[in-house]
Amino acid sequence: MHYDLIVRNARIATATGAIKEGDLACLGSRIEKIGPQIFAGASEQIDAHGLLLLPGVIDPQVHFREPGACHKEDLASGSKAAVRGGVTSFLEMPNTRPATTSQQQLDQKLLLAATKSVANYGFFIGATTNNLKEINTATPI
């Protein structure tokens, strides 16, 4: 098997909390194999000797400011900062200007994120005193 990436000799944090030395192999953006020693080639190899390899973090409550206050932070700058800190996925709160309170606004956010975000993403739709019907008919992602 030939992989796109193999990270070798890492200290890998496992689902049980144990730290085990080994290799991690990726094909595309998917982790395909984790093991003590992977005998295969790769287009790129990283020697992670002495380094700790952690799973990505999911941040379930971010407050990016697009639309309405992009001078503070937008989807591009916020997602880049998140990824640099180990966050691979985020869920954005609907407190933008205007707030995300309709399916149309949610669809616009999804299109925007598809072109700007470098992380996995999701968005909350906000509840107001007059959008219960919109919430009940919103298409979840």
Domain 57-137 CATH class label: alpha beta
Q: Has residue 133 got a pLDDT over 70?
A: yes
* pLDDT bucket at 138, cuts 50 / 70 / 90: confident
Question: Is 2-53 a domain of CATH 2.30.40.10?
Answer: yes
Residue 24 contacts residue 6 (beta carbons within 8 Å): yes
Residue 75 contacts residue 43 (beta carbons within 8 Å): no
Q: What percentage of the chain exceeds 70 in pLDDT?
A: 99
Give residue limits of the domains in the chain: 2-53, 57-137
Q: What is the 3-state secondary structure (H, E, C) of 26-88?
A: EECCEEEEEECCCCCEEEEEEECCCCEECCCEEEEEECCCCCCCCCCCCHHHHHHHHHHCCEE
For residue 36, is the peptide bond before it cis, meaning its omega torsion is within 30 degrees of 0?
no
Under 8 Å CB-to-CB from 76, ≥6 apart: which residues?
A: 116, 117, 118
State how far the Cα of 42 lies from the Cα of 77, in Å rounded to an integer. Answer: 31
Q: Per-residue pLDDT tens for 15-70?
A: 888 999 999 999 998 899 999 999 999 999 999 999 999 988 999 999 999 999 99
* pLDDT bucket at 141, cuts 50 / 70 / 90: low
On average, the pLDDT of the chain sits at 94
Mean pLDDT on 110-135 = 94
Q: What percentage of the chain exceeds 90 in pLDDT?
A: 86
